[in-house]
Structure 1
């Protein structure tokens, strides 16, 4: 079966060219779980990015950075940042935009372990790996005591979920990837996984229909 990074990378290439690039997360039965718009991850800031970027400390590791929209914004603001993504195509675009990025799994050792002032999980990336507690514990190890973890979450009342999904290309005859684990966390459910990861929930906010939270180690 097609690897998720291949389906993801092909959609990013189409989005970069301005072509239709919509993806869907689908469950084991093929039913749509969530629509994804790769155009939103490229280049220009999304509505809601401003307050998120403003809260990122100097020295932020952007986990699952994609084509580097937020990583590049932090560089442009004069802040030290490192992007991390498993997609070679995403990393190529991020570097083209002037963002320092590593192409690797975020659960593998990273430079500066335990010394980053901040970690960022935007655009739904709290779902990476399908286990938010494990992912937040990884962030806690990266930032160390007193560090900041910024996450984008689902709206309150949306419910939280984890399980297997696949990436489906919405084009006629488009590919569907092999399954992988993913999760969603609603803003009003975040306190429990944060506490399990030894992080304190210190702030939530909403902007442009998006929901965010700031956690502290």
Structure 2
């Protein structure tokens, strides 16, 4: 996915092409700190509760990590893209080029984990990803996840990133409507505390389900 996707990270006009031929624009301006007030409201909602160590999974150019650091919150970005990590570090924010399913610092001690911009679809296995988030969070940690709009379902597709002149390789991704927040959370040992829609973006806060944890220890 590198190469063409790296151009998206630097603000180039890019699209996602699905295997069925449909195409949608990538929000590259938002990723680089859009001046649009609606984007800012939604990003504020994603981070407003984070008052302790926060890990941003699939951080992209690091706008959320940088925002948290400006507030004095310890934060770390993780992304598989070297370009994303370099841009994040260029903002003065820490980031690691890692597979989020591999070893990561602070596992089991993070207060918050962010999956913004639909990153619940990374790896095309939302259940596995949310369970991984559970491994990274402290027992009272919170997952903050951005889902697709209601009615989107849970659909896995082969997609690729395109520009006007080039296209990247095909890879699998899952789009997850916010109506799937509850069943995914329950299966992974979380409970949905609340969801909110801000400027057309749908965000859920997931707490660890202590009832489930207690039952597992019984």
Counterpart pick for 1:200 among 169, 180, 191 = 191
Residue 171 of structure 2 corresponds to residue 177 of structure 1: no
- Displacement, 1:44? 4.5
Partners of 1:124 and 1:203 in 2: how far apart?
17
Pairwise mapping of residues 55-134 of structure 1 onto structure 2 (< 5 A)? Answer: 55-134=49-128
Moved more, 71-80 or 23-32: 23-32
Tell me the equivalent position of 1:5. Answer: 2
Partners of 1:211 and 1:104 in 2: how far apart?
27
Q: Deviations over 1:168-193 (max 9, x none)?
A: 22x1xx22111111111111121111
TM-score, length of structure 2 as denominator length = 0.88
Partners of 1:38 and 1:165 in 2: how far apart?
17
TM-score, length of structure 1 as denominator length = 0.89
Point out 4+ residue stretches in structure 1 off by more than 3 angstroms.
none
Aligned-residue Cα RMSD (Å) equals 1.4
Partners of 1:25 and 1:101 in 2: how far apart?
25
Tell me the equivalent position of 1:18. Answer: none
Counterpart pick for 1:42 among 28, 32, 46 = 32
Is the Cα–Cα contact under 8 Å of residues 56 and 150 in structure 1 kept in the other structure?
A: no
Q: Mind listing any 5+ residue stretches in structure 1 that lack a counterpart? A: 16-20
Aligned residues: 204
- Displacement, 1:158? 2.5
Partners of 1:29 and 1:150 in 2: how far apart?
30
Residue 16 of structure 2 corresponds to residue 25 of structure 1: yes
Tell me the equivalent position of 1:154. Answer: 148
Is the Cα–Cα contact under 8 Å of residues 152 and 175 in structure 2 kept in the other structure?
A: no
- Displacement, 1:159? 2.2
Partners of 2:85 and 2:118 in 1: how far apart?
18
- Displacement, 1:29? 4.1
